[in-house]
């Protein structure tokens, strides 16, 4: 097994309490930003003290967990706060497909955080100036757009083919994604996108890791000590033109057999995946409505208590991929995705988030996001396909999901 690894023999880590730093995103000194922010709280990081790029394979979560235990286990850690996100932290993202080589974990040299009235700065392996690489953010100008792997009509044909397979009884649901390319005249600055996303979607988890930037509404898993929380989202409708239209669309969403079935698949899988790991687990009988700036989702909040001490990465291994981003049965849906999408998703729809030295962490599903590489951005959007799905309606839903990152890029 070949691992791409960058790490010193022993990390020296120091966390100190600091006055409230204000806007965390505004403190990022460089476009190569690491971030996990919701309602203004969370953590940001910059610099690189250690890095792992595990190879593709079904054991990539276990490989990452072992590496982190070695790196954090040998570290000298001075952390008087001992809160989730203090001490050494690894930001990470995993490829959606087990075959993907795109997974990465990064331990930054500086981590700035704020949570529940506490603020801190963690320094990892250096006493240098955390603002030494200060570069003011630069907004993107003059974007041009082009199709990704499939044109809109081509993607509608893929949806129709998936519906045929489902109606033939080969599977219950598959999630199909498409991509869209943006080209800028100058390098795209992740901090500009983060600022716009955090302001427009404060209830989402705004993230940045190794060029993947977005604002996901879906909390895959949060581990805090022995407790777990997950938010299952499946079943979507666009926002209306006003309160009355919103109410009508919400009523139709709740009454939609197609969307209720799609949500049930996702909630049942999360329950089945977490139950063997938990001494207690609560899954709602009925979903609630989660209203965002551009769409509404059927949502189920899941709560559990671990039966033994497990890292959040161990829980990720049990959960990913959920039917909300893959389908059911998982193996059949994954094969159909490979056949019909015509692209490699990379880290889109894979887990993205952070883990600390205690095994605590928050991980979302990398949705409403784009992969940034210099002057190029690759946007992604996906839709759950079941027997009653209509290709034109699914294309319209995907277009509404693209708007999140189109706004972030264009302002």
Q: What is the 3-state secondary structure (H, E, C) of 145-179?
A: EEECCCCHHHHHHHHHHHHHHHHCCCCCEEEEEEE
Instruction: Say which residue the tokens 């999408």 belong to.
Output: 341
> What would the pLDDT profile of 131-170 be if each residue is shown by its tens digit?
656 677 888 778 999 999 999 999 999 999 999 999 999 9
- Evaluate whether 310 touches 250 at the Cβ level (below 8 Å): no
How many beta carbons lie within 10 A of that of residue 116, not counting itself?
A: 7
Q: Which residues contact 364 (CB under 8 A, 6 or more apart)?
A: 205, 207, 216, 218, 219, 220, 351, 352, 353
| CATH class, range 4-410 | alpha beta
Give the residue ranges of DSSP H helices in 95-135.
Answer: none
Element holding 365 (H helix, E strand)? strand 361-365
CA 356 to chain centre: 17
Neighbours of 86 (CB within 10 A): 27
Report the chain's C-alpha Rg in angstroms: 21
The confidence score (pLDDT) of residue 141 equals 75
Q: Given pLDDT bands bounded at 50, 70 and 90, which one contains residue 129?
A: low
- Report which of residues 212 and 142 the model is more confident about: 212
Q: What is the mean pLDDT of the chain?
A: 93
Question: At 30, is the pLDDT very low, low, confident or very high (cuts 50, 70, 90)?
Answer: confident
**Maximum CA pair distance of the chain?**
63
Residue 300 has pLDDT above 90, yes or no: yes
3-state secondary structure of 130: coil
Q: What is the mean pLDDT of residues 187-209?
A: 96
Q: Write down the pLDDT at residue 238.
A: 86
Length of the chain: 411
% of the chain surpassing 90 pLDDT = 82
pLDDT > 70 fraction of the chain, expressed in percent and rounded: 96
Instruction: Name the residue with tokens 């989402």.
Output: 204
Structure tokens at 88: 């050494």
Examine residue 299 and say whether the peptide bond preceding it is cis (omega within 30 degrees of 0): no
pLDDT at 43 over 90: yes
Interval 313-371: pLDDT, tens: 999 999 999 888 999 999 999 999 999 999 999 999 999 999 999 999 999 999 999 99
Predicted model pTM: 0.92
Say if residue 8's pLDDT is above 50. yes
The DSSP element (H or E) to which 385 belongs, if any, is strand 376-385
Assigned token pair, 190: 């992740």
* In the block, residue with structure tokens 């609630």: 288
Around 126, how many Cα atoms within 13 Å sit in the side-chain half-sphere? Answer: 17
What is the mean pLDDT of the segment spanning 11-22? 95
Domain positions in the chain are 4-410
- DSSP for 273-338 reads HHGGGEEEEE--SS-EEEE-SSEEEEEEEEEEEESS---HHHHHHHHPSPTTTSEESHHHHHHHHH
Query: Can you spell out the DSSP letters for 16-82?
Result: EE-S--S-TGGG--SSS-EEEEETTEEEEEES-SEEEEPPSSTTHHHHHHHHHHHHHHTSEEE-SS-
- The closest alpha carbon to 123, from 112, 135, 139, belongs to 112
Residues involved in catalysis: 173, 218
């Amino acid at each position: 097994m070949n691992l791409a690894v960058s790490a010193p023999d022993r990390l020296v880590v120091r966390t100190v309490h600091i006055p409230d730093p204000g806007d965390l995103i505004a403190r990022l000194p460089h476009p190569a930003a690491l971030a996990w922010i919701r309602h203004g709280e969370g953590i940001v990081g910059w610099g690189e003290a250690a890095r792992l790029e595990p190879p593709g394979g079904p054991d990539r979560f276990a490989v990452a967990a072992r590496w982190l235990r070695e790196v954090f286990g040998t570290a000298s850690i001075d952390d008087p706060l001992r809160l989730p996100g203090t001490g050494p932290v690894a930001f990470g993202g995993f490829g959606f497909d087990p075959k993907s080589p795109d997974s990465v974990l990064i331990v930054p040299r500086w981590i700035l955080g704020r949570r529940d009235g506490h603020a801190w700065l963690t320094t990892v392996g250096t006493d240098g100036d955390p603002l030494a690489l200060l570069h003011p953010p630069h907004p993107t100008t003059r974007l041009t757009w082009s199709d990704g792997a499939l044109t809109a009509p081509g993607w509608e044909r893929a949806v129709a083919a998936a519906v045929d397979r489902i109606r033939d009884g080969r599977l219950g649901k598959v999630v199909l994604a498409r991509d869209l390319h943006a080209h800028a005249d100058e390098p795209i600055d992740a901090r500009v996108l983060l600022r716009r996303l955090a302001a427009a979607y404060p209830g989402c988890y705004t993230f940045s890791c190794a060029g993947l930037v977005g604002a996901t509404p879906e909390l895959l898993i949060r581990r805090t000590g022995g407790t777990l929380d997950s938010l299952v989202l499946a079943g979507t409708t666009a926002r209306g033109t006003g309160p009355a239209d919103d109410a009508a669309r919400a009523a139709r969403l709740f009454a939609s057999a197609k969307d209720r079935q799609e949500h049930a698949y996702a909630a049942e899988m999360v329950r089945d995946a977490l139950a063997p790991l938990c001494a207690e687990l609560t899954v709602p009988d009925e979903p609630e409505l989660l209203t965002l700036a551009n769409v509404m989702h059927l949502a189920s909040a899941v709560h559990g208590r671990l039966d033994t001490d497990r890292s959040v990465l161990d829980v990720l291994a049990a959960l990913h991929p959920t039917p909300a981003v893959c389908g059911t049965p998982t193996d059949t849906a994954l094969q159909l995705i490979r056949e019909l999408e015509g692209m490699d998703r990379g880290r889109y729809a894979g887990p993205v988030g952070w883990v600390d030295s205690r095994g605590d962490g928050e991980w979302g599903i990398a949705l409403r996001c784009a992969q940034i590489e210099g002057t190029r951005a690759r946007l992604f959007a996906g839709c759950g396909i079941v027997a009653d799905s209509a290709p034109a309606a699914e294309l319209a839903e995907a277009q509404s999901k693209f708007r999140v990152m189109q706004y972030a890029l264009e302002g």
